[in-house]
Amino acid sequence: MSLIVNEIFHSLQGESSHAGRPCVFVRLTGCNLRCSYCDTRYAYDEGEAMDVEEVIGRVSAFPCRLVEVTGGEPLLQRKTPGLIKMMLDRGFEVLLETNGTRDIGSIDSRCVRIVDIKCPSSGEAEKNDFGNFSHLTSRDEIKFVMMDRRDYDYAVGILARYRDVCTAAKPPLFSPILGMLEPSVLAEWILNDGLPVRMQLQLQKIIWGQEVRGV
């Protein structure tokens, strides 16, 4: 059982409610979207075939039990659910970051599923699979990456439309795109509207800059 792996590295978790925690990242190759602001275009095609046991072996070499499976879009690969289950069975705490266009129902419920809801500025909002909301549990998270007020209003509308489902998961994550939407502006919008959300900044970019890979 093998996957196409773009990179495996040890860093700090930069986003989600787990931000700041040491984490091993398994970045899988391939993505079905082409978001306007994508910062991992190198994961569209670059990668090498690795057996699942080899992946787990490389992950185990780091002094860390928190793992995130990301991409690209990791759910494009059929073996991803099996990889996640095997890591969970071996005692790892596992996060999955997905672009929200693929069914998350096959993912082990012990995994924290972080579902990215695409906003209009991405150019891919019409591909969101809102059927995934029926799979969300109190362990899971949804996030919105925002470039402007239109994106913010879109996210607010989604939260209102799926109020019961969204409140079942952790507080939704609102993330401004670095260099495109000032964090202070987004913070003001959130405070003015009294939204029960968590604003997040991309910690990895604040620490290491926007162009560095493997962090």
Tell me the helices (H) and strands (E) count for the chain, helix number first: 6, 9
pLDDT in tens, 46-95: 999 999 999 999 999 999 999 999 999 999 999 999 999 999 999 999 99
Kindly write down the DSSP assignment for every residue of 104-142, as one continuous string.
-TTS-TTSEEEEEEPPGGGT-GGG--GGGGGG--TT-EE
- Smallest CA-to-CA distance from 178 within 144, 212, 203, 153 is with 203
What pLDDT is attached to residue 38? 94
What pLDDT is attached to residue 204? 87
> Which contiguous run of DSSP H or E holds residue 57?
helix 52-60
pLDDT in tens, 169-200: 789 999 999 889 999 999 999 999 999 999 99
Contact in structure between 114 and 98 (CB atoms under 8 Å): yes
Q: Which two tokens stand for residue 140?
A: 């899971």
CA dist 124 and 102 (Å) reads 13
